[in-house]
Structure 1
Amino acid sequence: MDKPEKPKDDAADEVKTAYAKWERSNRMSLMIMKSTISLAIRGGIPEKNVAGELFTAKEFLASVEEQFKSTSKANASALIMKMLTTKYNGTSGVREHIMMMNDMAAKLNGMDMAISEGFLVHFIMTSLPAQFGPFKINYNTQKEKWKMSELIAMCVEEEERLKTEKPDFAHAAIESPKQKKINGKGKNKKDDGLGVNKASTSGTKRVFKCNHCKKPGHVRKECTKFRAWLAKKGIPFREDAGKGKKEA
Protein backbone atom coordinates (compact mmCIF):
# COMPACT_ATOMS: atom_id res chain seq x y z
CA MET A 1 0.00 0.00 0.00
CA ASP A 2 1.28 3.45 -0.91
CA LYS A 3 1.91 5.95 1.83
CA PRO A 4 -1.28 7.92 2.56
CA GLU A 5 -1.20 11.65 3.02
CA LYS A 6 -0.68 12.71 6.60
CA PRO A 7 -3.96 14.06 7.96
CA LYS A 8 -4.18 17.65 9.14
CA ASP A 9 -5.08 18.63 12.66
CA ASP A 10 -8.68 19.35 11.72
CA ALA A 11 -9.11 16.05 9.83
CA ALA A 12 -11.83 13.62 10.79
CA ASP A 13 -11.11 11.05 13.48
CA GLU A 14 -11.62 8.20 11.00
CA VAL A 15 -8.87 9.60 8.76
CA LYS A 16 -6.49 10.00 11.69
CA THR A 17 -7.24 6.46 12.90
CA ALA A 18 -6.64 4.98 9.44
CA TYR A 19 -3.32 6.82 9.14
CA ALA A 20 -2.23 5.62 12.59
CA LYS A 21 -3.03 2.04 11.60
CA TRP A 22 -1.01 2.41 8.39
CA GLU A 23 1.97 3.84 10.30
CA ARG A 24 1.92 0.93 12.74
CA SER A 25 1.58 -1.63 9.94
CA ASN A 26 4.37 0.01 7.93
CA ARG A 27 6.69 0.12 10.93
CA MET A 28 6.11 -3.56 11.76
CA SER A 29 6.60 -4.57 8.12
CA LEU A 30 9.95 -2.78 8.00
CA MET A 31 11.05 -4.44 11.24
CA ILE A 32 10.15 -7.89 9.94
CA MET A 33 11.89 -7.38 6.59
CA LYS A 34 15.06 -5.98 8.14
CA SER A 35 15.21 -8.77 10.72
CA THR A 36 15.35 -11.36 7.94
CA ILE A 37 18.31 -9.67 6.21
CA SER A 38 21.81 -10.28 7.53
CA LEU A 39 23.67 -7.27 8.89
CA ALA A 40 26.41 -7.58 6.27
CA ILE A 41 23.88 -7.22 3.45
CA ARG A 42 21.56 -4.76 5.17
CA GLY A 43 24.28 -2.11 5.32
CA GLY A 44 24.42 -1.94 1.53
CA ILE A 45 20.68 -1.40 1.05
CA PRO A 46 19.52 2.25 1.04
CA GLU A 47 16.85 3.05 3.64
CA LYS A 48 16.18 6.69 2.72
CA ASN A 49 15.18 8.54 -0.42
CA VAL A 50 16.98 11.53 -1.94
CA ALA A 51 15.02 13.86 0.33
CA GLY A 52 16.36 12.07 3.39
CA GLU A 53 13.01 10.52 4.31
CA LEU A 54 12.83 6.92 5.45
CA PHE A 55 11.49 4.45 2.94
CA THR A 56 8.11 2.93 3.51
CA ALA A 57 7.90 -0.86 3.58
CA LYS A 58 6.92 -0.90 -0.09
CA GLU A 59 9.77 1.43 -1.07
CA PHE A 60 12.27 -0.55 1.00
CA LEU A 61 11.22 -3.78 -0.71
CA ALA A 62 11.72 -2.12 -4.10
CA SER A 63 15.18 -1.01 -2.96
CA VAL A 64 16.08 -4.59 -2.01
CA GLU A 65 14.87 -5.84 -5.38
CA GLU A 66 17.01 -3.26 -7.17
CA GLN A 67 20.11 -4.33 -5.26
CA PHE A 68 19.66 -7.99 -6.17
CA LYS A 69 18.87 -7.63 -9.87
CA SER A 70 22.47 -8.38 -10.81
CA THR A 71 22.42 -11.44 -8.54
CA SER A 72 19.41 -12.78 -10.42
CA LYS A 73 21.29 -12.41 -13.69
CA ALA A 74 24.24 -14.28 -12.25
CA ASN A 75 21.94 -17.07 -11.06
CA ALA A 76 20.38 -17.27 -14.50
CA SER A 77 23.81 -17.58 -16.11
CA ALA A 78 24.76 -20.32 -13.66
CA LEU A 79 21.54 -22.21 -14.37
CA ILE A 80 22.04 -21.97 -18.13
CA MET A 81 25.60 -23.27 -17.86
CA LYS A 82 24.44 -26.10 -15.61
CA MET A 83 21.74 -27.09 -18.09
CA LEU A 84 24.23 -27.07 -20.96
CA THR A 85 26.74 -29.25 -19.15
CA THR A 86 24.42 -31.66 -17.33
CA LYS A 87 24.43 -35.14 -18.83
CA TYR A 88 22.65 -38.23 -17.60
CA ASN A 89 25.19 -40.53 -15.93
CA GLY A 90 22.99 -43.58 -15.46
CA THR A 91 23.07 -43.60 -11.65
CA SER A 92 20.27 -41.35 -10.41
CA GLY A 93 17.56 -42.68 -12.70
CA VAL A 94 16.37 -41.08 -15.91
CA ARG A 95 13.14 -39.85 -14.29
CA GLU A 96 15.11 -37.89 -11.67
CA HIS A 97 17.39 -36.52 -14.39
CA ILE A 98 14.47 -35.21 -16.44
CA MET A 99 12.78 -33.73 -13.37
CA MET A 100 16.00 -31.93 -12.45
CA MET A 101 16.29 -30.46 -15.95
CA ASN A 102 12.62 -29.49 -15.80
CA ASP A 103 13.19 -27.75 -12.46
CA MET A 104 16.06 -25.69 -13.87
CA ALA A 105 13.88 -24.66 -16.82
CA ALA A 106 11.10 -23.63 -14.42
CA LYS A 107 13.54 -21.44 -12.49
CA LEU A 108 14.63 -19.77 -15.71
CA ASN A 109 10.99 -19.20 -16.63
CA GLY A 110 10.60 -17.37 -13.33
CA MET A 111 13.45 -15.07 -14.40
CA ASP A 112 11.64 -14.08 -17.61
CA MET A 113 13.72 -16.53 -19.66
CA ALA A 114 10.96 -18.76 -20.95
CA ILE A 115 11.87 -22.17 -22.37
CA SER A 116 9.17 -23.89 -24.40
CA GLU A 117 8.24 -27.47 -23.62
CA GLY A 118 9.12 -28.61 -27.14
CA PHE A 119 12.61 -27.15 -26.89
CA LEU A 120 13.11 -28.62 -23.43
CA VAL A 121 12.12 -32.10 -24.65
CA HIS A 122 14.70 -31.92 -27.46
CA PHE A 123 17.30 -30.52 -25.07
CA ILE A 124 16.78 -33.35 -22.57
CA MET A 125 17.09 -35.91 -25.36
CA THR A 126 20.54 -34.54 -26.20
CA SER A 127 21.60 -34.98 -22.56
CA LEU A 128 21.01 -38.75 -22.66
CA PRO A 129 24.05 -41.04 -23.13
CA ALA A 130 24.96 -43.02 -26.24
CA GLN A 131 23.09 -46.08 -24.94
CA PHE A 132 19.87 -44.22 -25.78
CA GLY A 133 20.99 -43.78 -29.42
CA PRO A 134 18.33 -45.99 -31.06
CA PHE A 135 15.72 -44.43 -28.79
CA LYS A 136 16.68 -40.94 -29.97
CA ILE A 137 16.59 -42.01 -33.61
CA ASN A 138 13.13 -43.45 -33.11
CA TYR A 139 11.93 -40.17 -31.60
CA ASN A 140 13.43 -38.05 -34.38
CA THR A 141 11.68 -40.12 -37.05
CA GLN A 142 8.25 -39.58 -35.51
CA LYS A 143 6.05 -36.71 -36.61
CA GLU A 144 4.36 -36.34 -33.24
CA LYS A 145 5.99 -34.22 -30.57
CA TRP A 146 6.09 -35.61 -27.05
CA LYS A 147 4.91 -33.79 -24.00
CA MET A 148 7.05 -33.80 -20.88
CA SER A 149 4.92 -36.50 -19.25
CA GLU A 150 5.25 -38.68 -22.35
CA LEU A 151 9.01 -38.14 -22.46
CA ILE A 152 9.39 -39.25 -18.85
CA ALA A 153 7.28 -42.37 -19.39
CA MET A 154 9.11 -43.35 -22.59
CA CYS A 155 12.57 -42.73 -21.15
CA VAL A 156 11.83 -44.75 -18.01
CA GLU A 157 10.56 -47.63 -20.14
CA GLU A 158 13.65 -47.48 -22.36
CA GLU A 159 15.97 -47.41 -19.35
CA GLU A 160 14.30 -50.49 -17.89
CA ARG A 161 14.74 -52.28 -21.22
CA LEU A 162 18.42 -51.33 -21.35
CA LYS A 163 18.98 -52.56 -17.80
CA THR A 164 17.36 -55.88 -18.66
CA GLU A 165 19.38 -56.41 -21.83
CA LYS A 166 22.62 -54.86 -20.54
CA PRO A 167 23.13 -55.30 -16.79
CA ASP A 168 26.24 -53.07 -16.91
CA PHE A 169 24.24 -50.20 -18.42
CA ALA A 170 24.90 -47.80 -15.52
CA HIS A 171 28.66 -48.46 -15.57
CA ALA A 172 28.82 -48.03 -19.34
CA ALA A 173 26.93 -44.74 -19.14
CA ILE A 174 29.31 -43.36 -16.51
CA GLU A 175 32.57 -44.50 -18.11
CA SER A 176 33.81 -42.11 -20.76
CA PRO A 177 35.52 -43.25 -23.99
CA LYS A 178 38.81 -41.86 -22.64
CA GLN A 179 38.50 -43.99 -19.51
CA LYS A 180 37.72 -47.06 -21.61
CA LYS A 181 40.89 -46.45 -23.62
CA ILE A 182 42.96 -46.08 -20.46
CA ASN A 183 41.43 -49.15 -18.83
CA GLY A 184 42.12 -51.27 -21.91
CA LYS A 185 45.66 -49.98 -22.46
CA GLY A 186 48.34 -52.64 -22.23
CA LYS A 187 45.88 -55.43 -21.49
CA ASN A 188 47.11 -57.71 -24.27
CA LYS A 189 50.83 -57.15 -23.81
CA LYS A 190 53.37 -59.25 -21.94
CA ASP A 191 57.10 -59.50 -21.51
CA ASP A 192 58.87 -62.71 -22.57
CA GLY A 193 61.71 -62.19 -20.05
CA LEU A 194 64.30 -61.45 -22.73
CA GLY A 195 63.71 -57.74 -22.98
CA VAL A 196 61.18 -58.15 -25.79
CA ASN A 197 57.65 -56.78 -25.59
CA LYS A 198 55.21 -58.62 -27.79
CA ALA A 199 51.46 -58.75 -28.28
CA SER A 200 49.68 -61.84 -27.03
CA THR A 201 47.09 -61.70 -29.79
CA SER A 202 47.65 -64.44 -32.32
CA GLY A 203 48.55 -63.31 -35.80
CA THR A 204 50.20 -60.10 -34.60
CA LYS A 205 53.70 -59.50 -35.95
CA ARG A 206 56.36 -59.44 -33.24
CA VAL A 207 58.13 -56.13 -32.81
CA PHE A 208 61.53 -56.47 -31.15
CA LYS A 209 62.63 -53.61 -28.94
CA CYS A 210 65.76 -53.41 -26.82
CA ASN A 211 65.10 -52.78 -23.16
CA HIS A 212 68.50 -51.12 -22.79
CA CYS A 213 68.75 -48.58 -25.60
CA LYS A 214 64.99 -48.60 -26.33
CA LYS A 215 65.59 -48.96 -30.07
CA PRO A 216 63.59 -51.43 -32.17
CA GLY A 217 65.06 -54.16 -34.35
CA HIS A 218 67.06 -56.10 -31.78
CA VAL A 219 66.90 -57.47 -28.25
CA ARG A 220 69.03 -56.53 -25.27
CA LYS A 221 71.53 -59.40 -25.54
CA GLU A 222 72.31 -58.31 -29.12
CA CYS A 223 72.73 -54.65 -28.18
CA THR A 224 76.30 -53.37 -28.56
CA LYS A 225 75.64 -50.58 -26.09
CA PHE A 226 74.46 -53.13 -23.54
CA ARG A 227 77.62 -55.21 -23.99
CA ALA A 228 79.77 -52.08 -23.70
CA TRP A 229 77.95 -51.17 -20.50
CA LEU A 230 78.60 -54.65 -19.07
CA ALA A 231 82.29 -54.41 -19.95
CA LYS A 232 82.53 -51.00 -18.30
CA LYS A 233 80.97 -52.38 -15.13
CA GLY A 234 83.19 -55.45 -15.22
CA ILE A 235 80.26 -57.81 -15.61
CA PRO A 236 80.86 -60.81 -17.88
CA PHE A 237 78.38 -61.21 -20.72
CA ARG A 238 76.31 -64.41 -20.65
CA GLU A 239 74.46 -65.69 -23.70
CA ASP A 240 72.01 -67.63 -21.54
CA ALA A 241 71.05 -64.60 -19.42
CA GLY A 242 67.33 -64.57 -18.72
CA LYS A 243 66.82 -68.22 -19.75
CA GLY A 244 67.37 -69.74 -16.34
CA LYS A 245 70.01 -72.20 -15.18
CA LYS A 246 71.06 -75.04 -17.43
CA GLU A 247 70.57 -78.52 -16.24
CA ALA A 248 73.71 -80.37 -15.21
Structure 2
Amino acid sequence: MSLMIIKRGIPEAFRGAVSNSITQAKEYLDEIEKHFVKSNKVETSTILNSLISIKYKGKGNVREYIIEMSHLASKLKALNLELSDDTLVHLVLISLPNQFSQFQINYNCQREKWTPNELISHYVQEEERLKQNKAESAYLASTPKYKGNKRKHEATKGPYVKKQKQDTDKKGCFFCNKPDHVKKECPK
Protein backbone atom coordinates (compact mmCIF):
# COMPACT_ATOMS: atom_id res chain seq x y z
CA MET A 1 0.00 0.00 0.00
CA SER A 2 1.23 3.41 -0.86
CA LEU A 3 2.23 5.86 1.82
CA MET A 4 0.47 8.66 -0.05
CA ILE A 5 -2.91 6.88 0.28
CA ILE A 6 -2.39 6.45 4.02
CA LYS A 7 -1.32 10.08 4.44
CA ARG A 8 -4.54 11.30 2.78
CA GLY A 9 -6.72 9.43 5.34
CA ILE A 10 -4.87 10.87 8.35
CA PRO A 11 -6.27 14.04 9.96
CA GLU A 12 -4.29 17.28 9.71
CA ALA A 13 -3.20 17.12 13.36
CA PHE A 14 -1.08 14.00 12.78
CA ARG A 15 0.49 14.98 9.49
CA GLY A 16 3.02 17.26 11.20
CA ALA A 17 3.62 14.84 14.11
CA VAL A 18 5.34 12.26 11.94
CA SER A 19 8.57 13.12 10.19
CA ASN A 20 8.62 13.36 6.39
CA SER A 21 11.67 11.08 6.13
CA ILE A 22 9.49 7.98 6.65
CA THR A 23 8.78 6.36 3.31
CA GLN A 24 7.10 3.04 4.18
CA ALA A 25 3.55 2.62 5.42
CA LYS A 26 4.54 0.23 8.23
CA GLU A 27 7.00 2.76 9.68
CA TYR A 28 4.39 5.50 9.39
CA LEU A 29 1.74 3.46 11.26
CA ASP A 30 4.27 2.50 13.94
CA GLU A 31 5.12 6.16 14.42
CA ILE A 32 1.43 7.10 14.80
CA GLU A 33 0.89 4.20 17.23
CA LYS A 34 3.52 5.68 19.53
CA HIS A 35 1.24 8.69 20.03
CA PHE A 36 -1.58 6.48 21.30
CA VAL A 37 0.39 4.23 23.65
CA LYS A 38 -1.26 3.97 27.04
CA SER A 39 0.92 4.59 30.05
CA ASN A 40 0.92 1.79 32.62
CA LYS A 41 2.07 4.27 35.27
CA VAL A 42 -1.05 6.37 34.88
CA GLU A 43 -3.34 3.34 34.97
CA THR A 44 -1.52 1.96 38.03
CA SER A 45 -1.81 5.30 39.77
CA THR A 46 -5.52 5.58 38.99
CA ILE A 47 -6.33 2.07 40.22
CA LEU A 48 -4.22 2.49 43.34
CA ASN A 49 -5.88 5.81 44.11
CA SER A 50 -9.35 4.29 43.76
CA LEU A 51 -8.33 1.32 45.94
CA ILE A 52 -7.12 3.61 48.70
CA SER A 53 -9.96 6.12 48.54
CA ILE A 54 -12.90 3.69 48.17
CA LYS A 55 -15.29 3.62 51.14
CA TYR A 56 -18.17 1.30 51.98
CA LYS A 57 -21.31 3.40 52.29
CA GLY A 58 -23.66 0.75 53.59
CA LYS A 59 -25.42 0.22 50.29
CA GLY A 60 -25.28 -3.26 48.87
CA ASN A 61 -23.64 -5.99 50.86
CA VAL A 62 -20.14 -6.26 52.26
CA ARG A 63 -19.29 -9.30 50.13
CA GLU A 64 -19.68 -7.38 46.86
CA TYR A 65 -17.66 -4.49 48.26
CA ILE A 66 -14.72 -6.72 49.31
CA ILE A 67 -14.85 -8.54 45.97
CA GLU A 68 -14.68 -5.17 44.20
CA MET A 69 -11.59 -4.26 46.22
CA SER A 70 -10.04 -7.67 45.41
CA HIS A 71 -10.74 -7.02 41.74
CA LEU A 72 -8.89 -3.70 41.91
CA ALA A 73 -5.97 -5.47 43.60
CA SER A 74 -5.89 -8.08 40.81
CA LYS A 75 -5.78 -5.28 38.22
CA LEU A 76 -2.75 -3.89 40.02
CA LYS A 77 -1.17 -7.35 39.99
CA ALA A 78 -1.61 -7.46 36.20
CA LEU A 79 0.28 -4.14 36.05
CA ASN A 80 3.21 -5.62 38.05
CA LEU A 81 2.24 -4.03 41.37
CA GLU A 82 1.23 -6.84 43.64
CA LEU A 83 -0.42 -6.19 47.01
CA SER A 84 -0.16 -8.91 49.62
CA ASP A 85 -3.32 -10.41 51.09
CA ASP A 86 -2.49 -8.83 54.45
CA THR A 87 -2.34 -5.38 52.87
CA LEU A 88 -5.64 -5.92 51.09
CA VAL A 89 -7.30 -7.12 54.31
CA HIS A 90 -6.10 -4.01 56.14
CA LEU A 91 -7.28 -1.74 53.32
CA VAL A 92 -10.72 -3.33 53.58
CA LEU A 93 -10.74 -2.93 57.37
CA ILE A 94 -9.78 0.73 57.12
CA SER A 95 -12.42 1.53 54.51
CA LEU A 96 -15.42 0.15 56.41
CA PRO A 97 -17.67 2.45 58.48
CA ASN A 98 -17.76 2.77 62.28
CA GLN A 99 -20.53 0.21 62.67
CA PHE A 100 -17.87 -2.45 62.02
CA SER A 101 -15.37 -0.98 64.50
CA GLN A 102 -15.94 -3.73 67.08
CA PHE A 103 -15.22 -6.32 64.41
CA GLN A 104 -12.00 -4.51 63.46
CA ILE A 105 -10.85 -4.50 67.07
CA ASN A 106 -11.51 -8.23 67.35
CA TYR A 107 -9.48 -8.89 64.20
CA ASN A 108 -6.56 -6.81 65.45
CA CYS A 109 -6.53 -8.71 68.77
CA GLN A 110 -6.18 -12.10 67.06
CA ARG A 111 -2.81 -13.58 66.21
CA GLU A 112 -3.89 -15.25 63.00
CA LYS A 113 -4.20 -13.36 59.73
CA TRP A 114 -7.07 -13.83 57.35
CA THR A 115 -7.14 -14.12 53.60
CA PRO A 116 -9.61 -11.93 51.72
CA ASN A 117 -11.95 -14.94 51.32
CA GLU A 118 -11.95 -15.57 55.07
CA LEU A 119 -12.55 -11.87 55.64
CA ILE A 120 -15.57 -12.00 53.34
CA SER A 121 -17.13 -14.92 55.22
CA HIS A 122 -16.55 -13.29 58.63
CA TYR A 123 -17.88 -9.94 57.48
CA VAL A 124 -21.01 -11.49 56.00
CA GLN A 125 -21.70 -13.04 59.41
CA GLU A 126 -21.06 -9.70 61.09
CA GLU A 127 -23.34 -7.91 58.63
CA GLU A 128 -26.15 -10.38 59.37
CA ARG A 129 -25.64 -9.87 63.11
CA LEU A 130 -25.85 -6.10 62.69
CA LYS A 131 -29.05 -6.42 60.62
CA GLN A 132 -30.64 -8.59 63.31
CA ASN A 133 -29.71 -6.07 66.01
CA LYS A 134 -31.10 -3.26 63.91
CA ALA A 135 -34.37 -5.15 63.32
CA GLU A 136 -34.84 -5.74 67.07
CA SER A 137 -34.90 -2.04 67.86
CA ALA A 138 -38.21 -0.54 66.77
CA TYR A 139 -39.59 2.94 67.13
CA LEU A 140 -42.95 3.51 68.80
CA ALA A 141 -45.27 5.83 66.97
CA SER A 142 -48.61 6.96 68.31
CA THR A 143 -51.50 8.96 66.95
CA PRO A 144 -52.88 12.05 68.70
CA LYS A 145 -55.96 11.60 70.88
CA TYR A 146 -57.77 14.66 69.53
CA LYS A 147 -58.53 15.24 65.92
CA GLY A 148 -59.81 18.24 64.06
CA ASN A 149 -60.67 21.54 65.79
CA LYS A 150 -59.81 20.43 69.32
CA ARG A 151 -56.18 19.98 68.40
CA LYS A 152 -56.00 23.36 66.71
CA HIS A 153 -57.66 24.99 69.70
CA GLU A 154 -55.12 23.42 72.07
CA ALA A 155 -52.23 24.71 69.98
CA THR A 156 -53.45 28.32 70.37
CA LYS A 157 -53.51 28.01 74.16
CA GLY A 158 -49.77 27.32 74.44
CA PRO A 159 -47.31 29.52 76.36
CA TYR A 160 -46.01 31.14 73.17
CA VAL A 161 -49.44 32.47 72.22
CA LYS A 162 -50.08 33.85 75.71
CA LYS A 163 -46.74 35.63 75.65
CA GLN A 164 -47.56 37.23 72.31
CA LYS A 165 -50.89 38.57 73.63
CA GLN A 166 -49.20 40.02 76.67
CA ASP A 167 -46.57 41.72 74.55
CA THR A 168 -49.18 43.35 72.32
CA ASP A 169 -51.11 44.59 75.36
CA LYS A 170 -47.99 46.23 76.78
CA LYS A 171 -47.04 47.98 73.58
CA GLY A 172 -50.48 49.34 72.79
CA CYS A 173 -51.53 50.57 69.40
CA PHE A 174 -49.19 49.87 66.50
CA PHE A 175 -50.70 52.73 64.51
CA CYS A 176 -50.58 55.69 66.93
CA ASN A 177 -48.33 54.15 69.64
CA LYS A 178 -50.70 55.02 72.53
CA PRO A 179 -50.79 52.39 75.29
CA ASP A 180 -54.53 52.61 76.12
CA HIS A 181 -55.85 50.74 73.04
CA VAL A 182 -54.88 48.40 70.14
CA LYS A 183 -54.78 49.10 66.42
CA LYS A 184 -58.24 47.78 65.57
CA GLU A 185 -59.77 50.02 68.26
CA CYS A 186 -57.71 53.06 67.18
CA PRO A 187 -59.79 56.20 66.49
CA LYS A 188 -57.37 57.32 63.81
Residues 236 and 69 of structure 1: CA distance in aligned 2, closer, same or farther (over 3 Å) = same
Residues 164 and 221 of structure 1: CA distance in aligned 2, closer, same or farther (over 3 Å) = same
TM-score after normalising by structure 1: 0.47
Distance 1:96 1:153 in 2: 12
Distance 1:68 1:133 in 2: 44
Paired residue for 1:69, among 20, 33, 38? Answer: 38
2:18 matches 1:84: no
Paired residue for 1:123, among 75, 91, 105? Answer: 91
Structure 2's unaligned 5+ residue stretches are 2-9, 138-157, 182-188
Q: Structure 1 vs Structure 2: percent identity of aligned residues? A: 31
Q: Which residue of 2 aligns with 1:55?
A: 26
Structure 1's unaligned 5+ residue stretches are 1-26, 28-38, 170-190, 197-210, 212-219, 240-248
Q: Which residue of 1 aligns with 2:151?
A: none
Paired residue for 1:221, among 162, 167, 184? Answer: 167
For the Cα contact (< 8 Å) 1:94–1:155, is it kept in 2?
yes
For the Cα contact (< 8 Å) 1:47–1:54, is it kept in 2?
no
2:73 matches 1:142: no
Of the two structures, which has the highest relative contact order with CA contacts closer than 8 Å and spacing of 6 or more?
Answer: 2
Q: CA deviation at 1:144?
A: 0.8
Greater share of residues in helix: 2
Q: CA deviation at 1:193?
A: 1.6
2:51 matches 1:109: no
Q: Which residue of 2 aligns with 1:234?
A: 176
Q: Which residue of 2 aligns with 1:193?
A: 160
1:114-171 residue CA offsets vs partner (Å, 9 max, x unmatched): 21111011100111111111110010011111011111111111111111111399xx
Q: CA deviation at 1:192?
A: 3.6
For the Cα contact (< 8 Å) 1:76–1:108, is it kept in 2?
yes
Aligned length: 150
Residues 86 and 234 of structure 1: CA distance in aligned 2, closer, same or farther (over 3 Å) = farther
Distance 1:195 1:79 in 2: 65
TM-score after normalising by structure 2: 0.60
Aligned residue runs from structure 1 range 33-44, under 5 A:
none
Residue identity opposite 2:63 in structure 1: R
